Structure 1
């Protein structure tokens, strides 16, 4: 029988302490604490979500996004029967592997990392949790990262498969196969907790990225309601990137979404205190709706008894999934793909590529004390490149700029 609470390296029991009223913390409470106290989690405070971190105190960073995903996942998962600390920790940890500058940075590092198997933020998350974070070492002196339980690591695996030809998303690099095989022992598909985390991530960033876009002046729903051609173009974007449905099928859902009375108070948004309150009400209503509809659909299929792990799959109604995809498309089209952002994206990609190039030439001297020893013990150029990629991926947005200024300006 698979022990879901097992750790890759056995550890002694830790006690909760005098006066707590309990003998010990659960293994999953310990997992949550380890992620919350990790260096990688702190770094998310200055990593880009959609808008550059630090430019506007209103908008999300990777850290605030992760906290919101964890809250949604905890409530959704607990109502279905999942261990609340497992889904909470999965939400907190799911973006630990994302590099500076969000998905734009991810694309840049993927291009540079092709000789060592590419770069993917979700695969990097597993690497951070099981190798790069400093917490536990095995008997041979190798780091096993935070040494989280099998159940928690499985819940973090949004894409539990290796990279293959044509695969855009994957959750593990080839050289992390041993820990991946251990945590996936007995697994057939994604566990329910991973599905809960994944859907909570979709709900959070679809609703909150639109909220940030409206507040920032990039998103205005009124013109979209009036322009048939623009609505068709939006649906085409969503069909190409976020949904398996056709643009024509999405069009009906978009019309229903835009006519929802919940959006009425947002007309003429001016950023005032009252306008912000109206905007927050929209995000609260939509988040609650998407969670409740999912709970109901899952209960309708599997009944009222608690479900977890491989007892059930998360059931998201077709209309609910399409609405979330359309909200993600609004953020994509009007925030991430706005023309004035293109020069900044190009500079970010150039910065990371130049930084990788210089570090390849000047490693291990310019690597920090975590990564320099890993570079020295690497067996070939591919392994050395992976260490450099790990180093750059670990940087915050401001740190990447500072490293580039120190190492690259005038050299490339």
Structure 2
């Protein structure tokens, strides 16, 4: 089968008709599968709309053409659906996970996350993955019978485990949580509605995760070029992009730099998608899972880059870290953004009366613990857009950085 052909539904795909259900029972939809319903709920959520004004790398007022969390999520969804279609997976569940993966990010991108993590250090820290789980299970208030979005078990599993198991075979925390432990928001919810944290997630979740990597690599190159942080020819330092730039030059010898960059981004996305599809087929052929549980219990990820492409992708990330994320202009703005988040957190701790009424304790006559108050303030700030965070800072402080 060629990469360009859609595959028939696979035996190891998640089947919406065999979903493990929802935490709160609901009548099934007459017109949509459970996973399609999940996806629609994410799209219509308040948190999803707020992604429009949340930073990817550049703050919202630096230009209309740079990625935001919303446009990034849409691009991840497009790549994820393309991969899912080739592998015969459930596209609706894949799209749900792609669109939901950044719902927990605070304002100002990773700078905002670092600041909130520091502010909440004594109270378990801040983790955007755990915050996404909070958003979809408690912080959205749109339905009369439950808080959150009441997503299917498969969607919640994919949100929490898209980067792999959270618990190692020996019982300790795995991966990114090995040193700091699994966030309380995840462990507490897991006690209510076990998500099998020691196993891998579905292929749909694994696809959404690698689509995130592909989107980051390609589109941060695009934004970096647009911002003038580097030029197309600077990317010749890496063998993979050097070959692509050479091919583009032969095909279009008189192309201007803007179109050269756009063509490079397209070539890179297509190349990485193709590489993932071919590698996934090889891994699946060797593993021969006969169900989604076979995928979960395989013991290793079945979606990934081939070894040589994985190295090339690592090289791209290293280039972007040096030339974009650590660029003096970006670092200066993000440093100021971190301070804004710290200022807001400290102010609300000292003067909780300045919080909106809906974010005050439900029973104001009853004392709450320091951790409960800190987490409530953290949840409020995490939901802010860049624009609202700046407006709040201007309201509460005499001087606010311009972030330009």
Q: TM-score range by the shorter chain?
A: 0.7 to 0.9
**Matched-pair contact (CA < 8 Å) for 2:51–2:385:** yes
SS at match of 2:73: helix
SS at match of 2:360: helix
Equivalent position of 1:371 in the other structure:
359
Equivalent position of 2:240 in the other structure:
257
**Matched-pair contact (CA < 8 Å) for 1:192–1:308:** no
Question: C-alpha displacement at 1:379, in angstroms?
Answer: 4.0
* Residues 265 and 289 of structure 1, relative CA distance in 2, 3 Å threshold: closer
What is the TM-score with the length of structure 1 in the denominator? 0.80
Residue 189 of structure 2, aligned match among 173, 179, 195: 179
Equivalent position of 1:228 in the other structure:
none
Counting matched residue pairs gives 365
RMSD: 3.1
Equivalent position of 1:20 in the other structure:
none
**Matched-pair contact (CA < 8 Å) for 2:173–2:182:** no
Determine whether 1:292 maps to 2:274: yes
Q: How far apart, in 1, do the equivalents of 2:71 and 2:293 lie?
A: 30
Equivalent position of 1:161 in the other structure:
166
Question: C-alpha displacement at 1:328, in angstroms?
Answer: 2.0
Equivalent position of 1:198 in the other structure:
209
Question: C-alpha displacement at 1:50, in angstroms?
Answer: 1.0
SS at match of 1:73: helix
CA distances 1:23-57 after superposition (whole Å, capped 9, x unpaired): x2101111111000111011111111011123112
Equivalent position of 1:383 in the other structure:
372
| Structure 1: tracts of 5 or more residues without a match | 16-23, 226-230, 232-253
Residue 7 of structure 1, aligned match among 7, 15, 22: 22
Q: How far apart, in 1, do the equivalents of 2:233 and 2:362 lie?
A: 54
What is the TM-score with the length of structure 2 in the denominator? 0.81
Q: How far apart, in 2, do the equivalents of 1:273 and 1:97 lie?
A: 40
- Structure of greater relative contact order (alpha carbons < 8 Å, 6+ residues apart): 2
Question: C-alpha displacement at 1:97, in angstroms?
Answer: 0.6
**Matched-pair contact (CA < 8 Å) for 2:84–2:91:** yes
Q: How far apart, in 2, do the equivalents of 1:176 and 1:132 lie?
A: 14
**Matched-pair contact (CA < 8 Å) for 2:249–2:255:** no
* Residues 307 and 145 of structure 1, relative CA distance in 2, 3 Å threshold: farther
**1:12-411 residue pairs with structure 2 within 5 A?**
12-15=27-30, 24-136=31-143, 143-157=146-160, 158-159=162-163, 161=166, 167=177, 173-181=183-191, 182-185=193-196, 188-223=199-234, 225=236, 254=238, 256-262=239-245, 265=248, 275-303=257-285, 309-312=292-295, 313-363=302-352, 365-373=353-361, 376=364, 379-409=368-398
Q: Which stretch shifts more, 31-40 or 46-55?
A: 46-55
SS at match of 1:303: helix
Question: C-alpha displacement at 1:66, in angstroms?
Answer: 0.3
**Matched-pair contact (CA < 8 Å) for 2:55–2:107:** yes
Question: C-alpha displacement at 1:180, in angstroms?
Answer: 2.9
Q: How far apart, in 2, do the equivalents of 1:273 and 1:10 lie?
A: 57
SS at match of 1:344: helix
Equivalent position of 2:8 in the other structure:
none
Equivalent position of 1:237 in the other structure:
none
Q: How far apart, in 2, do the equivalents of 1:46 and 1:75 lie?
A: 26
Q: Which stretch shifts more, 106-115 or 50-59?
A: 50-59
Q: Which stretch shifts more, 104-113 or 308-317?
A: 308-317
**Matched-pair contact (CA < 8 Å) for 2:244–2:267:** no
Q: How far apart, in 2, do the equivalents of 1:11 and 1:175 lie?
A: 24
**Matched-pair contact (CA < 8 Å) for 1:97–1:128:** yes
Q: How far apart, in 2, do the equivalents of 1:292 and 1:171 lie?
A: 35
